[in-house]
């Protein structure tokens, strides 16, 4: 296992730690002589995990260690991290549930499109809007994590979450357009070819059946009935 893949797996293990730190009420951790409250601990875990997302991609490209398992695990780790943070914020009654459902639903919808496209040997690359959306998600979630104990940050956090939703919808539309332009048309053309091939096979089978039937009749010699 190389370093980028190890960072991706580490990001997955950060997810339960983030949830535990955030949903625990009145929790704090002692670091030397300092008491760190749970929202600051959750923010630290979240930012470290988000940092590994940038670091593993950079190292994989720089060291030319892009692997299949890394390509598969990286988006899964990202979605687990973002989904866990959003669900936890809903649990502590800081974020409206419909916002979390909309953002998480968008992530799974785009992932489904990419899987279908990959099965058709077409890669839907991440757009600039998608990358901007990820950065906006990290900033907005960080602000909402602090808003758990600091209500003054709730309004800026909600404004940032609305920006995230706008980016999520616009980037999802972009992915769907790429899908229908390339993959959907390709699937329809392939299905038409398959139907034509099936129809030709059916017609050939019917012609062979008719030729066998007519050949059997032509090869039969008619004899008159015998008279006793």
Q: Using CA atoms, how far apart are residues 65 and 29, in angstroms rounded to an integer?
A: 37
Instruction: Give alpha helix (H) positions in 24-96.
Output: 38-62, 68-91
The pLDDT score that the predictor gives to residue 71 is 74
Instruction: Report pLDDT digits (tens) over 201-213.
Output: 888 888 888 877 6
Axis-axis angle for helices 128-146, 68-91 (nearest 10): 40
Q: What is the pLDDT of residue 25?
A: 60
Q: What is the mean pLDDT of the chain?
A: 81
Inter-residue contact 103 to 82 (CB < 8 Å): yes
CA distance 117 to 186: 10
What's the rounded mean pLDDT across residues 88-93? 90
Domains, the chain, in order of start with CATH, read 3-187 (1.20.120.1760)
pLDDT at 51 over 60: yes
Give residue-wise pLDDT tens across range 133-170: 788 899 999 999 989 888 899 999 999 999 999 988 88
Q: Is the pTM of this model over 0.85?
A: no
Q: Which two tokens stand for residue 58?
A: 């950079």
Burial class of residue 183 in the structure, from the number of CB atoms within 10 Å of its CB (0-12 exposed, 13-18 middle, 19+ buried) = buried
The token pair at 187 is 């699937």
What is the three-class DSSP state of 96? coil
So what's the pLDDT on residue 129? 67
Q: Which of 9-18, 33-42, 199-208 has the lowest mean pLDDT?
A: 33-42
Span 71-93, average pLDDT: 88
Q: Report the distance separating Cα 52 and Cα 11, nearest Å.
A: 7
| More confident of the two residues 179 and 163 | 163
Per-residue pLDDT tens over the stretch 104-122: 998 888 888 877 777 767 6
């Amino acid at each position: 296992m190389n370093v980028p893949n190890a960072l991706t797996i580490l990001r997955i293990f950060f997810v339960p730690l983030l949830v535990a730190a955030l949903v625990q009420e009145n929790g704090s951790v002692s670091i030397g002589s300092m008491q760190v409250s749970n929202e600051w601990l959750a923010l630290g875990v979240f930012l470290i995990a988000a940092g590994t997302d940038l670091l593993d991609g950079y190292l994989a490209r720089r060291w030319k260690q892009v692997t299949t398992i890394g390509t598969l695990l990286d988006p899964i780790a990202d979605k687990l991290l973002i989904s866990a943070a959003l669900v936890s914020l809903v649990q502590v009654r800081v974020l409206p549930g419909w916002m979390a459902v909309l953002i998480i639903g968008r992530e799974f919808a785009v992932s489904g499109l990419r899987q279908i496209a990959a099965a058709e040997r077409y890669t839907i690359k991440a757009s600039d809007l998608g990358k901007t959306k990820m950065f906006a998600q990290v900033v907005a979630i960080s602000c909402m994590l602090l808003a758990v104990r600091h209500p003054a940050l709730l309004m800026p956090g909600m404004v940032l979450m609305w920006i995230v939703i706008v980016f999520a919808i616009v980037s999802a539309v972009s992915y769907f357009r790429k899908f229908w332009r390339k993959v959907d048309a390709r699937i329809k053309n392939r299905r038409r070819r398959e139907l034509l091939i099936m129809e030709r096979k059916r017609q050939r089978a019917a012609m062979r059946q008719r030729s066998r039937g007519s050949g059997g009749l032509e090869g039969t010699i008619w004899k008159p009935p015998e008279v006793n």
